[in-house]
Homo-oligomer: A and B are copies of this chain.
Amino acid sequence: MTPRRTGRRPGNPDTRDAILAAARTAFADRGFDATSIRMIATAAGVDPALVHHYFGSKDQLFRATVDIPVDPGELLPAVLVGARDEVGARLVRLFLGVWDSPAGAGAVAVLRSAATNEWTARLVREFLVTQVLRRVLDHLDMAPDELPLRGSLVASQMIGLAMMRYVIRLEPVASADPETLVAALGPTVQRYLTGDLG
């Protein structure tokens, strides 16, 4: 098999689908960290090089399984540098920028699905921990034993914002201008990241 390097061709849809299905199962069952491209290739009955060809890196393949069109690894660094006491506000602003954009419709669909499908819930959990929270927390130089609680508190506020703004659509959060929400929620996220949790 000679994988092409263009990455533009969709390839054989059956093969792509088989790889995606194997990846979903593996990531949901074993978690992101314990899953390798090689395991997924074996489960799908293809060569690992073909997985890389179709999907790129393990991060990219994982994002494809949850159908999330943005790459937190590209977006997050810009908000994690700069004044440490405003990282909460910058994170809320970035979050709203993505979810309010056309890409947000896909994120809302994933959130809806996670609410009713245990597998999607597991994938979302893995996505939050490995693609978002780990990157945020790595930049903030905190006590490692505090990271999980701080990360999951941030996730609780952000996912709650997404539920109220895009799914349950409770006003005025549903149609508030982003900066109103940045002012209201920024200090919450800031405290969860760097403040005293009692």
Contacts and interface: CB of A to CB of B under 8 A. Distances in A.
A152 B124 contact: no
Given A149-B184, A184-B149, A169 B115 contact: no
Given A116-B115, A191-B187, A198-B183, A148 B172 contact: yes
15 contacts: A116-B116, A121-B169, A125-B169, A128-B170, A148-B172, A149-B173, A149-B180, A153-B185, A155-B160, A156-B163, A156-B164, A156-B173, A158-B160, A184-B198, A188-B188
A81 interface: no
A163 B185 CA distance: 18
A114 to B, nearest CB: 6
Nearest to A170: B152
A168 B112 contact: no
A164 B125 CA distance: 9
Nearest to A114: B168
